[in-house]
Structure 1
């Protein structure tokens, strides 16, 4: 079969799958189509005392000595989400030789800003201390997130308060990856997000763009041109410009065949034809020393 025919079938299947995703539980479907042969999963590791303070570790079946580790935070407007829904992310990154930590964190209405960032910092601290036992190098630690999870990653990378509370600094982060992240979103328009940040008294220090400084970790920022939930020009483009102005290395990519949700779904095997998200992430991790 020629490459052109393969590509056509891949696009047709991707379009069909997107239609199916709209009619059922999208993440569960992607996970059901995710092979389990590429990774070893160690689930339900507690990094705190709350039931939401748990994480799963995904190791490649053949972990190279000193493999990089990626801590991934999912989205959900800080109102919803579960690490169990993102097994396809663990598989994708593990298939490229990374050890992956998928962490839950407390959500609204149980907590508001900044408690979920404190949880994220605790998950990173656990990773930094323990990930060597899973074959990874804690000196090659990356943060990654989608949507509100990208916000979490950005805040830990840019605002030293949160890692400082667990005895660490952003300098332990080799780099960070944001997919469709909200980095500059005041005043808040999303009704679900408003109470999370005490609208209308949302604190300016809650915005990642206000914490950019020289010496911040390198960043890979990816967004969708068709994103109707998080404005890509203001958020991804604005943060990228500010990072560059501060002398921080940043890579910036925009894709046209994805939207806010399918950008992260493009990491899954069935939807990788939508955009080379996995290639960009693995290339960034491999090249960032």
Structure 2
């Protein structure tokens, strides 16, 4: 077994696994509409016409109806499970199996088992709900898929959250956002969870490119599914917060610095939500090494030490070629727990400071005593009132009196996991 110290820092990735090119796709869900310039005009008549066309184009023949497609759903789940399993074992071949990784894997298994009552309920919703559109194709690369979580009501265009999930750049997967998607959809917000290639299937440039292409799809096509292209919010969690921030800064450089035409615009984002993200990789290399994401592996993911600054949004916005355009970024709202051991809260603090110094609209929200997974998993599974969730909804529904009134009378969210299991999971969490 190869140890982590033997991996060359210029390692990129092995050949793409053959099975990733065979991911199940649904061509009925990939129709194209005009670019974002034309899609942004959403009149009432045009909106209703698009809804009728979308409903017609996405309706399946009777032989493929939900009640008759159980075997197809099982096959879909099996294919995606096989993909993740194959990539995991490929990764472990490079990492090697040492004491630290064995203990973390055991802790991860215990953590997942303790939260399993909630995970099973969310998985049932993910695979059976008619409000979920899974694996919509947004590009021609492996893993260029996204899941859509649609509100039940289709009376008017809905605000949209384009979400990039975390996973240490290694185990990210679109279904990790299903709990967020479910709960925001219940508040009349459409959610698009964007998948992307992970290491070793891809390196950081692939991940940022995939995320950007997924964002472009949302900007240009979300009206087909009832979303409002004038109310799109970009959000990322953990590694997803880093990747989505990189995509946003990279797009700003292309748009404002280089004048390059693109299929989406920074101005289309109403706000950016960064949850527990890391934005200066140069400061995090040693921290990640101590946490088990060894330096050689991390540098392989980031395409070498020379690329750390290029993929550090905090550093990039201070470069002369972009600092004059930072004020044109959308409002940047950063959330972080003060007892986050995976990515210290200082990562969000220093990024917020840099943004504010350069004239950007930036807000930092710290949650006292919250860990890396509390904000994204334990608190939502607990149900009831959730400060992070309420802040997201308040920002998204700001200025919409009808939506705010509906929020005020919404029923408390249902608890999915008993409190004792949540407390035990928090203690054994490897994150």
Structure 1 and Structure 2 fold alike (TM over 0.5): yes
Question: By percentage of residues, which structure has more helix?
Answer: 2
Rounded to whole Å, the distance in 2 between the matches of 1:172 and 1:217 is 8
**Which position in structure 1 is the counterpart of 2:279?**
183
SS at match of 2:373: helix
Q: Whose radius of gyration is greater, 1 or 2? A: 2
**Structure 1 consecutive aligned stretches of length 4 or more whose deviation exceeds 6 Å:** none
Alignment length, in residue pairs? Answer: 269
1:64 Cα deviation after fit: 4.6
1:24 Cα deviation after fit: 2.7
Rounded to whole Å, the distance in 2 between the matches of 1:25 and 1:83 is 20
Q: Spell out the pairing of 1:243-258 with structure 2 (5 A cutoff).
A: 243-258=355-370
Q: Structure 2 vs 1, CA of residues 267 and 285 (structure 1 numbering), >3 Å: closer, same or farther?
A: farther
Rounded to whole Å, the distance in 1 between the matches of 2:155 and 2:109 is 35
**Which position in structure 2 is the counterpart of 1:196?**
301
Q: Spell out the pairing of 1:49-88 with structure 2 (5 A cutoff).
A: 49-88=140-179
Rounded to whole Å, the distance in 1 between the matches of 2:165 and 2:399 is 23
Rounded to whole Å, the distance in 2 between the matches of 1:194 and 1:25 is 32
1:118 Cα deviation after fit: 0.5
Q: Spell out the pairing of 1:213-232 with structure 2 (5 A cutoff).
A: 213-232=326-345
State the Cα deviation string for residues 102-149 of structure 1 (Å, max 9, x = none): 111011112112111100011011111111011111111111111010
1:211 Cα deviation after fit: 3.4
1:85 Cα deviation after fit: 2.9
Rounded to whole Å, the distance in 2 between the matches of 1:88 and 1:26 is 16
1:151 Cα deviation after fit: 0.8
Contact 1:142 1:175 in 2 (8 A): yes
State the Cα deviation string for residues 45-83 of structure 1 (Å, max 9, x = none): 111123311111101111451211111111111111221
Contact 1:215 1:248 in 2 (8 A): yes
Pick one of 388, 406, 409 that aligns with 1:277. 388
Matched, 1:47 2:160: no
Contact 2:340 2:371 in 1 (8 A): yes
1:39 Cα deviation after fit: 7.3
SS at match of 2:328: coil
User: What TM-score comes out, normalization by structure 1 length?
Assistant: 0.83
Q: Structure 2 vs 1, CA of residues 39 and 284 (structure 1 numbering), >3 Å: closer, same or farther?
A: farther
Q: Spell out the pairing of 1:260-271 with structure 2 (5 A cutoff).
A: 260-266=372-378, 268-270=380-382
Q: Structure 2 vs 1, CA of residues 182 and 52 (structure 1 numbering), >3 Å: closer, same or farther?
A: same
Contact 2:309 2:316 in 1 (8 A): no
Give ranges in structure 1 of 5+ residues lacking alignment.
1-18
Contact 1:28 1:85 in 2 (8 A): no
**Which position in structure 1 is the counterpart of 2:120?**
32
